[in-house]
Amino acid sequence: MRNTLKISVAIAAASAVALGASACSAPSDTTASDKGDKNAPLVVAASPTPHGSILDFVKNELAEKEGLKLVVKPFNDYKIPNKVTDDGQVDANFFQHKPFLDTFNKENGTHIVPVQNVLIEPLGVYSKKIDKLSELKAGSTVSVPNDPSNEGRALKLLADNGVITLKPGVGSDAKLTDVKDDKGIKITELEAAQTAPRIDDVDAAIINGNFAIGAHLKPSKDALALEEAKDNPYANFLAVKKGNESDPRIKKLAKLLNSPEVKKFIEDKYKDGSVIPAFGPAKS
């Protein structure tokens, strides 16, 4: 029987882009890179949750003791943080994992490098219409993040739970063309930030951890399936433009983000398993 993969590509709502764009210009008095002033505030772009929350904790509880002035710039977008880091509007960012960064650098000609791993956010399948994945059938719709790295994770998660079948040997680098059998399920690509807001438009949605948290979803309770955290290669890290790794402010922040205090903060705040500490140097 011939399998037909039905793909509908959705364009992210303009409001999400506008929200990211509205935050993309860091005021000149908080942009230290152009000045070369290593005593100036360190400006970091971050997803609001959990990255921004963790940075706010560092800013309010730990930074002053280290002589670090920290400014946190929130973005509900996966593209702008790297762009404003590369062009010097901010000094660093904290929101992404290595596969996403590698793809972004290649496609956009940016030169962002990872510095320090901090956390893992397991990807999950959520729904407002079904109670278990076995209820998905021919004609059901499932949304996945449309950026290559997260889409691959999403397809693997679906395959691991028997929703679809991937071609032999394909893993988290899967593309839609690697789906061997979709079982009649319609896979809809959405910008990652839109998977949670548009969950009512589909039968199930695969949502990144930070966006699930922002939508008040609890992975341990609400997810129909959750990505395994053990040996997960998708640690989120502090990143900078290449050449700025040795900035003493970056070194201070990297140290604080891997501190016992931050570990306790993550474990206490995200008891539902939506965010897990994953400390250590990030691989370039």
- Alpha-helix residue ranges (DSSP H) falling in 41-108: 53-57, 80-86, 98-108
SS3 category, 119: strand
CB crowding 185-203: b at 16 or more within 10 Å, else e? bbbbbbbbbbbbbbbeebb
Q: Is 252 left (phi over 0), alpha (psi -120 to 50) or beta?
A: alpha
* E strand map for the chain: 7-9, 42-46, 70-74, 92-96, 112-120, 124-126, 141-145, 165-166, 179-181, 186-190, 204-207, 225-226, 236-241, 276-281
Mean pLDDT of 106-128: 96
Q: How far apart are CA 268 and CA 58, in angstroms?
A: 15
Q: Is 53's pLDDT higher than 80? A: yes
Mean pLDDT of 130-148: 96
C-alpha distances (whole Å) from 254 to each of 77, 109, 260 are: 23, 25, 13
pLDDT at 36: 59
- Say which range, 13-27, 91-105, 122-136, has the weakest mean pLDDT: 13-27
DSSP 168: T
pLDDT at 172: 86
- Tally the C-alpha atoms within 13 A of residue 33's C-alpha that lie toward its C-beta: 21
Q: How far apart are CA 280 and CA 72, in angstroms?
A: 22
Q: Is 10's pLDDT higher than 50? A: no
- Say which range, 33-37, 71-75, 232-236, has the weakest mean pLDDT: 33-37
Confidence label for 19 from pLDDT (cuts 50, 70 and 90): very low
191-250: per-residue pLDDT in tens?
999 999 999 999 999 999 889 988 999 888 999 999 877 777 889 999 999 999 999 999
Scan for tokens 């303009």, then name that residue.
14
Q: How far apart are CA 178 and CA 278, in angstroms?
A: 30
Mean pLDDT of 158-187: 95
Burial of 113 (C-beta count, 10 Å sphere; 0-12/13-18/19+): middle
Structure-model confidence comparison of residues 84 and 19, the more confident one = 84
DSSP 283: P
What residue type is assigned to position 156 of the chain? K
pLDDT at 1: 40
pLDDT at 12: 36
Before 50, cis peptide (omega within 30)? Answer: yes
Structure-model confidence comparison of residues 232 and 56, the more confident one = 56
